[in-house]
């Protein structure tokens, strides 16, 4: 029997989100209904609300979530009712060109549920990133469920479903940070701070946090930064060079995604160093730079999509490290809120007051 539950939707461009009744179909082949326990508020939810992703309104928002599998459809083997899972938006297909070349983190045919969740009047919903977890329950593909230790706090481990994974993976997977490296991270929100935590786990010896907000620099220090630079107080590039023996950092991660921060990342590297762009620029942003600088400075210039993660490989590993006390993931949970407070949480996020607000269901 299809079920009626509560869900937070964006009905039209820029309008405040609404808490409404939605209908969840019974799971079809390879589909799973998950009873959501917690879901973080990510910048991307706000981008959906404001029309920055596409125009397929109404959206069912929320995608950084953990919960318990309630029921499964035909052919589901990955999970069973009662399993505690973190949801992901990279259920790789195994068959596209990227998957066949052994680079499944670039998979361009990832799985989502085939059936649609709807409003009470039958209008089909578009779930954010194929998840839609600001809801009591949601419908996903079995590959979007990663089983993890059920004793972990859903509010904390759910964040591995998006922003924290993106930042940690930007350092560990895309940037390939290794022991002894110097790393600088520009922008210390949830994603940048996760990059800092990832750099620490990978054994970086110098980790420089850069932000314009002193509070963010304190949080970055709590997560592993060894040095901080307040970007509003002088030249970022020379400050990074000063902290790295005059050389620049081995890896610089831009977790803001603006032309000026990317340029800082480019010039704050040591020769042949790596730039990782994980912040998401908007379509109108452009860059003008001397081409010879690209040649003479060498190195590699990369972008990081979802931290180049493989959920099945990376999420359980990070949960283990969290439970062993080697990764303070709980520091990303700034506040716990109810399902009717998502619109307020967008304002709090916009004001820079939190790393993550997490909806508890």
Ligand X SMILES: NC(=O)c1ccc[n+]([C@@H]2O[C@H](COP(=O)([O-])OP(=O)(O)OC[C@H]3O[C@@H](n4cnc5c(N)ncnc54)[C@H](O)[C@@H]3O)[C@@H](O)[C@H]2O)c1
Binding site for ligand X (CB under 6 A): 43-44, 162-163, 166, 186-192, 210-213, 216, 231, 255-257, 261, 278-280, 304-306, 352
Tell me whether residue 108 or residue 294 sits nearer to Zn ion (CB atom). 108
Q: Which does 278 bind (CB under 5 to 8 A by kind): Zn ion, ligand X, none?
A: ligand X
Binding partner of 301, given ligand X, Zn ion, none, CB within 5-8 angstroms per partner class = none
107 binds, among Zn ion, ligand X, none (CB under 5 to 8 A by kind): Zn ion
Residue 271: is it exposed, middle or buried by C-beta count within 10 angstroms (0-12/13-18/19+)? exposed
**Residue 191 found at the interface with Zn ion (CB under 5 A):** no
CB of 222: closest distance to ligand X in angstroms?
14
Q: Which residues of 324-346 are buried (b: 16+ CB within 10 A; e: fewer)?
A: eeebebeebbbeebebebbbebb
Beta bridge partners of 278: none
Min dist CB 285 to ligand X, Å, is: 11
Pick the binder of Zn ion from 99, 168, 184, 251 (CB under 5 A).
99
Shortest distance, CB of residue 127 to ligand X, whole angstroms? 17
The rounded distance, in Å, linking the Cα atoms of 11 and 9 is: 6
Q: Of the listed pieces 87-95, 206-214, 224-232, 252-260, which binds Zn ion according to CB under 5 A?
A: 87-95
Q: Is 20 in the site for Zn ion (CB under 5 A)?
A: no
Q: Which burial class, exposed, middle or buried, applies to 74 when counting CB atoms under 10 A from its CB (0-12, 13-18, 19+)?
A: exposed
* 50/109 with CB nearer Zn ion: 109
Q: How far is the CB of 304 from ligand X (least distance, A)?
A: 5
Query: 78, 41, 308: which is closest to 174 by C-alpha?
Result: 308
Q: Answer yes or no whether residue 42 interacts with Zn ion by CB under 5 A.
A: yes
Asked if 138 and 66 touch (Cβ cutoff 8 Å), the reply is: no
Nearer to ligand X, 44 or 173 (CB): 44
Alpha carbons 57 and 307: distance in angstroms, whole number = 27
* SS3 at position 45: helix
In angstroms, the CA 99 to CA 315 distance is 19
Q: What is the side-by-side order of every strand in the sheet holding 227-230?
A: 227-230, 206-211, 182-186, 249-254, 269-277, 300-303
Does residue 88 touch Zn ion according to CB under 5 A? no
Contact 58, 10 (CB under 8 A): yes
Residue 73 contacts which entry, ligand X, Zn ion, none (Cβ below 5-8 A, type-dependent)? none
Q: Is 316 exposed, middle or buried (0-12, 13-18, 19+ CB in 10 A)?
A: middle
In the bound state with ligand X, the residue whose beta carbon lies nearer, of 117 and 355, is 355
In angstroms, give the least distance from the CB of 230 to Zn ion. Answer: 27
| Ramachandran sector of residue 230 (left: φ over 0; alpha: ψ -120 to 50; beta: rest) | beta
The smaller minimum CB distance to ligand X, of residues 161 and 299, is found at 161
- Binding status of residue 359 toward Zn ion by CB under 5 A: no
Q: Of Zn ion, ligand X, none, which one sits near residue 132, judging by CB under 5 to 8 A according to partner kind?
A: none
> To the nearest whole angstrom, how small is the minimum distance from the Cβ of residue 221 to ligand X?
14
Binds 93: which of ligand X, Zn ion, none (CB < 5-8 Å by kind): Zn ion
Q: Which is nearer to ligand X, 153 or 260 (CB)?
A: 260
Cα–Cα distance measured from residue 164 to residue 64, given in angstroms and rounded to the nearest whole number: 9
Pick 24 or 256: Cβ nearer ligand X: 256
Residues in contact with Zn ion by the rule CB under 5 A = 42, 44, 93, 96, 99, 107, 109, 162
């Amino acid at each position: 029997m299809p079920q009626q539950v509560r869900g937070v939707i964006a009905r039209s461009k820029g309008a405040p989100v609404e808490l409404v009744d939605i209908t969840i179909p019974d799971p079809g082949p390879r589909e799973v209904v998950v009873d959501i326990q917690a879901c973080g508020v990510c910048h991307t939810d706000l981008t959906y609300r404001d029309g920055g992703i596409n125009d397929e309104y109404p959206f069912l928002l929320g995608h950084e979530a953990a919960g318990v599998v309630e029921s499964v459809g035909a052919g589901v083997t990955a999970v069973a009712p009662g399993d505690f899972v973190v949801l992901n938006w990279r259920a790789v297909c195994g068959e596209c060109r990227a998957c066949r070349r052994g680079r499944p983190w670039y998979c361009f045919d990832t799985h989502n549920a085939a059936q649609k969740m709807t409003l009470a009047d039958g209008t089909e919903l578009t779930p954010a990133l194929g998840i839609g977890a600001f809801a009591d329950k949601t419908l996903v593909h079995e590959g979007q469920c990663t089983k993890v230790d059920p004793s972990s706090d859903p509010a904390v481990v759910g964040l591995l479903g998006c922003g924290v994974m993106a930042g940690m993976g930007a350092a560990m997977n895309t940037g390939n940070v290794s022991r002894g490296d110097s790393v600088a991270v520009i922008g210390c929100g949830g994603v940048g701070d996760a990059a800092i935590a990832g750099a620490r786990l990978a054994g970086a010896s110098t980790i420089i946090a850069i932000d314009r907000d002193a509070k963010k620099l304190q949080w970055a220090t709590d997560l592993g930064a060894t040095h901080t630079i307040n970007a509003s107080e002088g030249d970022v590039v020379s400050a990074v060079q000063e902290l790295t023996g005059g050389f620049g950092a081995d890896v610089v991660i831009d977790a803001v995604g603006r032309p000026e921060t990317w340029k800082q990342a480019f010039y704050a590297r040591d020769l042949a160093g790596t730039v990782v762009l994980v912040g998401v620029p908007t379509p109108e942003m452009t860059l003008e730079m001397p081409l010879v600088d690209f040649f003479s400075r060498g190195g590699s210039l990369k972008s990081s999509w979802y931290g180049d993660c493989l959920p099945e490989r990376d999420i359980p590993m990070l949960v283990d490290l969290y439970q062993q006390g080697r990764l303070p993931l709980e520091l990303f949970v700034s506040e716990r809120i109810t399902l009717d407070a998502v619109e307020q949480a967008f304002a709090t996020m916009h004001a820079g007051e939190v790393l993550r607000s997490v909806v508890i269901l």
